[in-house]
Structure 1
Amino acid sequence: MDISFILTMHEGLPRQGPGSNECTRKAFSMLKDLPERPEILDIGCGSGMQTIELARICPGCQITAVDIHQPFLDDLARRAAAAGVGDRITTVRASMDDLPFEDASFDVLWAEGSIFIVGFEEGLRSWKRLLRPGGYLCLTESVWFTDRPSPEAAAFWNDCYPAIKGARETAAIAGNTGYEVVAAFRLPGSAWWDNYYMPLQKRLPDLKKAAAGNPDAEARVAFSEREIEIYREHGSEYGYEFFVLRSL
């Protein structure tokens, strides 16, 4: 699979995965006893819709936003400047499995739609060193909402993320990895459609033309079409759970 094309096809979208400002605000409202000027690390920030929202709702914070794809970071910097919060957001190009920061550097780690890249448990373990005592890790992770998924949904997730588990089992992994589960809530369907699937779907015809003759790119576009259709038909069976975790 052509990773560069996957990144390119998501450039300029409002988000690179499901989510919404409402969900970001809800999760942040559950954080208690933060310092007056918290240091936040947004891991796999993409173009940073949630980064900018965090800067808006926490005017004392300083945010470091990390992504592997420089065009996403450039887009974030432009959007942050336009929103008047650019002075409190620093972008860093780095891989989330090799984050270049000292231990205990942050009060909050934020990871909407990104931890699956390194794996849920691996991310929890490897990122924990970055948190100060009692710090928070706020993230979204794919989970099953049913014990009996349809064959179509099961086949799709077996192809793209076979590690998917139920929400209760996912929370248990967090507990066993040294976190308290402060809260968890399900993202609504609108968080998938409004800022992610609908903008991506509008782009698919042009992406098909750009992918023509490149088998990897053609396969990526076809997979996105399948992904959207599977969610349209079976979205009640799975989705994102927003976990608010506190380091023990």
Structure 2
Amino acid sequence: MDWAAFFTLHDDSPRGGPSDGDSLDWALALAGVPADGAICDAGCGPGADIAALLAHVPRGRVEAVDLHPHHAERATARFADERRARVRQGDMGALTGPFDLIWSAGALHFLGVTEGLSRWRAALAPGGAVAFSEACWFTATPSARARAFWDREYPRITDAAGIAAQVQAAGYAILGQRPLSDAAWEGYFQPMERQIATLRPGASAAIADVLAAAEDEIATWRACRAEYGYLLTVARPR
């Protein structure tokens, strides 16, 4: 991928993937994060969820980690004056903790569900939990269009039972699961569409390719939203 072209599209995007406040609130309530708790935002992107995470721990703290320097720089700038938030560029597979919750919005797939959860176990405080969203089939018979998209983007996509099996293989018990809402997806896609419209006139070949791929992602989800989405899972080590 041409990362310069990718970040040209995503530079001003408010978030790095689908999520919303209702989903975050549900997950943190289910996990029982204390008001003085410590939360890690693993794969934080530009930092879209940090403020909401801080609101759940008014006497606690949030550490946010992202591998891409560009994302870490944006999140750092957004929370430079927030003493309870620390943002760093680094490997989310090497967290130290201890954390009462590890929150990962659409990023755990970079490690693999079972592998990532296994690594994160040692970074959790006693009674700590993980909340993560993962691409998920909502049908046993996806259309050719949906299948072709995910064969390119993430061939390991599975269904809710498959995600549950991966969680259990890491030695975790599932506290709850629910799909992200359409609003969570539109909150990600609509700002992207505005940026696409801004960038299209005079776009270089590399940027044009990135714009076309983004438009295909948006159109495919809108056409096939009943077939797939993100499943939000909250789990705790057994």
Distance 1:187 1:35 in 2: 24
Unaligned runs of 5+ in 2: none
**Residues 1:126 and 1:169: Cα distance change in structure 2 (over 3 Å):** same
Runs of 4+ in structure 1 off by over 4 angstroms are: none
Question: AA paired with 2:229?
Answer: G
- TM-score, normalising length: structure 1: 0.88
**In 1, Cα distance between the equivalents of 2:27 and 2:118?**
21
Name which of 206, 221, 224 aligns with 2:198.
Answer: 206
2:84 corresponds in structure 1 to 88
Deviation at 1:2, TM superposition (A): 1.6
Find the aligned partners of 1:230 and 1:208 in 2 and give their Cα distance.
20
SS at match of 1:180: strand
Under a length normalisation based on structure 2, what TM-score does the superposition of the two structures give?
0.91
Offset of 1:65 from its aligned partner? Answer: 0.5
1:41-56, aligned counterparts within 5 Å?
41-56=40-55
Summarize deviations over 1:109-142 as a string: whole Å, max 9, x none.
Answer: 1101111222222222222221123211111001
Report the secondary structure of 2:210's partner residue.
helix
Alpha-carbon contact 1:179-1:247 (below 8 Å) kept: yes
Higher mean displacement: 116-125 or 148-157: 116-125
1:239: which partner in 2? 229
**Is this contact kept in 2: 1:133–1:247, CA < 8 A?**
no
2:141 maps to what in 1?
A: 148
Partner of 1:228: helix, strand, or coil?
helix
Deviation of 1:210 after TM superposition, in Å, equals 6.8
Give me the whole-angstrom Cα distance separating, in 2, the residues matched to 1:173 and 1:203: 36
Distance (whole Å) between structure 1 residues aligned to residue 183 and residue 202 of structure 2: 28
Contact 1:111 1:138 in 2 (8 A): yes
Map 1:34-183 → 2, pairs under 5 A: 34-80=33-79, 86-97=82-93, 99=94, 101-102=95-96, 105-183=98-176
2:30 paired with 1:30:
yes
Structure 1 position 219, deviation (Å): 2.8
Q: How far apart are 1:55 and its partner, in Å?
A: 0.4
Counterpart residue type for residue 186 of structure 1: P
- Cα deviation 1:173-211 (Å, max 9, x = unaligned): 101211110011111111000x21000011113334575
The Cα RMSD (Å) is 2.0
Q: 1:196 pairs with 162, 172, 188, which one?
A: 188
The one-letter code of the counterpart of 1:200 is M
Runs of 5+ in structure 1 lacking a partner? none
SS in 2 for 1:245: strand
User: Contact between 2:134 and 2:231, CA under 8 Å: does it hold in 1?
Assistant: yes
In 2: Cα distance, 1:79 partner to 1:239 partner: 29
Cα distance in 2 for partners of 1:8, 1:178 equals: 40
CA gap of 1:6–1:126, structure 2 versus 1, over 3 A, is farther
Q: Is the 8 A contact 2:31 2:129 kept in 1?
A: yes
Residues 144, 238 of structure 1: 8 Å contact kept = yes
Specify the code of the residue in structure 1 equivalent to 2:205: G
Cα distance change on mapping 1:48 and 1:202 into 2, 3 Å = same
CA distance in 2, matches of 1:80, 1:182: 31
* Aligned-partner Cα distance in 1 for 2:86–2:4: 24
The alignment of Structure 1 onto Structure 2 pairs a total of residues equal to 238
